[in-house]
Amino acid sequence: MKSPLRGQNIEEFGTRFPDMSNVYDQVLTNKNYEEAKKENLPIKKGVYLQAPGPNFESKSEVRAFNF
């Protein structure tokens, strides 16, 4: 599957690279963490990463992505 951010820009679709640094509601996120803690549920924070495929990542790419 190709990334929608690749290729020619189509102006009527709007912003090509929207700001994704604060996409989740912080109040709801905090509530989720509080509820998980009450129930002793493990929660991990992370970052999604997309690499162009369809090949598997090499060991060196996995090391580079594992920051």
Question: From CA 33, how far away is CA 47, in angstroms rounded?
Answer: 17
7, part of any domain: no
* Average predicted confidence (pLDDT) for the chain: 83
- For residue 51, is it within any domain? yes
In-domain check, residue 6? no
Global pTM value = 0.50
For residue 34, being part of any structural domain is answered with yes
Q: Reduced to 3 states, what is the DSSP secondary structure of residue 22? A: coil
Q: Which residues of the chain have pLDDT under 70?
A: 1-2, 4, 53-54, 67
Q: Where are the alpha helices (DSSP H) in the chain?
A: 26-38, 59-65
Which residue segment(s) compose the domain that 52 sits in? 23-65
Angstrom distance (rounded) from CA 21 to CA 47? 11
Direct distance between the N- and C-terminal alpha carbons of the chain, in angstroms, rounded to an integer: 25
Q: Considering its fold, how many domains does the chain have in total? A: 1
CA dist 3 and 50 (Å) reads 8
